[in-house]
Structure 1
Amino acid sequence: MSMMDAVAPLAAIALIAAALHDMVARTIPNAIPAFVALLGLALRAAEGDLAWGLLAFVLVFAVAAIAWRYHVMGGGDVKLLAACALLPPPGSVADMLVAIALAGGALSLVYLAFRGRRPLPIPPRAVSLPARAFRAEVWRLRRGGPLPYGVAICGGVLLTLAG
Structure 2
Amino acid sequence: MDDASIQYGLLAALAIALLVAAFTDIRSRQIANWLNAAIALGAPLFWWASGLALWPGVAIQLGVAVACFAVLAVLFALRAMGGGDVKLLTALALWIPPTQFLTLLIVMALVGGVLTIVFGAWHVARRQRDRLAVPYGVAIAIGGLWVLAANYLPAAHAAGGNLG
Task: Kindly indicate whether the alpha-carbon contact (under 8 Å) linking 1:44 and 1:53 is maintained by their aligned counterparts in 2.
Answer: no
Residue of structure 1 in register with 2:16 after alignment: 13
SS of the residue aligned with 2:59? Answer: helix
Flag structure 2 segments of 5+ consecutive residues without an equivalent: 151-164
* Structural mapping, 1:1-163, within 5 Å: 1=4, 3-45=6-48, 46-48=51-53, 49-117=57-125, 119=126, 143-163=130-150
Deviation at 1:142, TM superposition (A): 6.5
Separation (CA, whole Å) in 1 of partners of 2:29 and 2:72: 17
Q: Which runs of 5 or more residues in structure 1 are unaligned?
A: 121-140
**Once structures 1 and 2 are overlaid, which stretch shifts more, 36-45 or 63-72?**
36-45
- Normalised TM-score (structure 1): 0.79
| Identity, % of aligned positions | 38
Contact 2:123 2:132 in 1 (8 A): no
Residue identity in the other structure for 1:146: A
Q: Is the 8 A contact 1:115 1:144 kept in 2?
A: no
* 1:112 CA displacement: 2.5
Counterpart amino acid of residue 85 in structure 2: D
Amino acid at match of 1:43: F
| Structure 1 residues 3 and 62: alpha-carbon distance in aligned structure 2, compared to 1, 3 A threshold | farther
